[in-house]
Amino acid sequence: MTVEDTNRSPVGAGSAAIRRAVRGAAIGNTVEWFDFAVYGFLATYIADKFFPSGDETAALLNTFAVFAAAFFMRPLGGFFFGPLGDRIGRQRVLALVILLMSASTLAIGLVPSYDSIGVAAPLLLLLLRCLQGFSAGGEYGSGACFLAEYASDRHRGFVVSFLVWSVVVGFLLGSVTVTGLEAALPGGAMDAYGWRIPFLIAGALGAVGLYIRLRLADTPEFEALRERGEVSSSPLKEAVTTAWRPILQLIGLVVVHNVGFYIVYTFLPSYFTKTLGFSKIDSFVSITVASLVGIVLIPPLGALSDRIGRKPLLIAGSVGFAVFAYPLFLVLTTGSLPAAVAAHAALAALESVFVSASLAAGAELFATRVRSSGYSIGYNVSVAVFGGTAPYVATWLVSRTGDDLAPAYYVIAAAVVTLATVLTMRETARRPLRKLPSG
């Protein structure tokens, strides 16, 4: 057996333990991203309540700017929680981040409006969104590493795909909650107080997610590392010095992952109403269909990546966005609701092809000692620059150019960057996770 083989020897976990790990990570992640998603679905209400009245487009841009600000906090969260996960374990970090996310989301629902406290309202909103972003910076890296380290080599793509699957579920629940309130509350109630309810619900859901995560055991990979006394004392420094190439690869890998995701699930619902002129109910129908497409496709595509490899799906998703983003946005702007819903669903399908394999591929780039650090740094730097800014950039492009197809160009550029990155990566499917850094 070679040194490389030794470094990649799998640490087994029983099927029951894997199922518990998937349930814990997925349920907790659903709660976390419900919290994060309701902000996007309530963007028009937030624009009205937290910013001065007058220019509706400017207020919406300010709302998306605050949305993006949370993403600029994610690298800080990644730099903090990633190394923390490599020192104290993935499970403890997962419990900590859901507590922080739920508390900050609950607080958003309690902040008075601009009419009541003036400029303090948007400043408090910004602060709480930054806390959300800081928390989210620890969620994906810890969650991806947690599931990757529990999964068997043969089924890692399928197991890890439930992390992004649960994000789509969280977004769908957020959409259903907001739309259900809009339909159930009497006229004017949603604008007066109803928009606060989803943020308050997040507090209760967060308590449930925290309870679930506190009952989880840490991963066999990390426990074995701790038993051998090989836990890194300086995981951040070690990750930057020994895993800088995988970090750069992950940054490029998830560019279209994030741009595509936030265009499909955050930008397009407001695009349907503000740019295309459809009703809020039409927008709800479309985002529901798109979410269901993701929920149906992601797990089987994750399993497919275990059979044929990660790279075929990553390449197919990147090329698909590069080739079809413009035609699909053309269909979106035809004025036909069925055609627009179909185009939205097709964009969600392209996103599903890519994200079904990207999280597992990212986790497989790193050794156990620095996996949480490396993943959290790379992923959150990329999402800060490209993901959280996507709704703002897309809205700004439409407003600035007057071209309703402008967001497609942004998606295409992201797809090209990611495709170039994927071509530099080796295939990692069905290979044991590395235990030690190669540097």
Least confident of 28-42, 76-90, 353-367, 378-392: 28-42
Task: Report, as an integer, the average pLDDT of 374-381.
Answer: 92
Contact 166/294 with Cβ under 8 angstroms?
no
Task: Report, as an integer, the average pLDDT of 4-29.
Answer: 67
Q: What is residue 13's predicted lDDT score, i.e. its pLDDT?
A: 54
Q: What is residue 337's predicted lDDT score, i.e. its pLDDT?
A: 96
How much of the chain exceeds pLDDT 90, in percent?
49
Residue 57 is inside which H or E element, if any?
Answer: helix 56-88
* Residues 228-254: tens digit of each pLDDT: 888 998 999 999 999 999 999 999 999
Domains, the chain, in order of start with CATH, read: 17-424 (1.20.1250.20)
Most confident of 41-55, 68-82, 281-295: 281-295
Of 345, 384, 346, 378, the closest CA to residue 359 belongs to 378
Confidence band (pLDDT; 50, 70, 90) for 298? very high
Q: What is the pTM of this model?
A: 0.86
- pLDDT(24) > 50: yes
- pLDDT(439) > 50: no
* Residues 109-145: tens digit of each pLDDT: 899 988 888 888 888 888 898 898 898 888 888 999 9
- pLDDT(3) > 60: no
**Paired tokens of 382:** 């990329």
Least confident of 10-24, 115-129, 156-170, 345-359: 10-24
Q: What is residue 436's predicted lDDT score, i.e. its pLDDT?
A: 61
Task: Count CB neighbours of 409 within 10 A.
Answer: 16
How much of the chain exceeds pLDDT 70, in percent?
94
Task: Count CB neighbours of 58 within 10 A.
Answer: 13
Confidence band (pLDDT; 50, 70, 90) for 278? very high
For the residues of 245-311, what is the DSSP string, one character each? HHHHHHHHHTHHHHHHHHIIIIIHHHHHHHTS---HHHHHHHHHHHHHHHHHHHHHHHHHHHHH-HH
* Residues 387-409: tens digit of each pLDDT: 767 777 888 888 888 888 889 99
State whether the Cα torsion 307-308-309-315 is positive or negative.
negative
Q: What is residue 438's predicted lDDT score, i.e. its pLDDT?
A: 57
* Residues 92-113: tens digit of each pLDDT: 999 999 889 888 888 988 999 8
Residue 185, sorted as left (phi over 0), alpha (psi -120 to 50) or beta, turns out to be beta
Q: What is residue 306's predicted lDDT score, i.e. its pLDDT?
A: 97
Contact 382/258 with Cβ under 8 angstroms?
yes
Give the CA radius of gyration of the chain.
Answer: 21
Q: What is residue 14's predicted lDDT score, i.e. its pLDDT?
A: 64
Q: What is residue 84's predicted lDDT score, i.e. its pLDDT?
A: 95
Q: What is residue 8's predicted lDDT score, i.e. its pLDDT?
A: 41
Confidence band (pLDDT; 50, 70, 90) for 9? very low
* Residues 320-374: tens digit of each pLDDT: 999 999 999 999 999 999 999 999 999 999 999 999 999 999 999 999 999 999 9
Length of the chain: 439
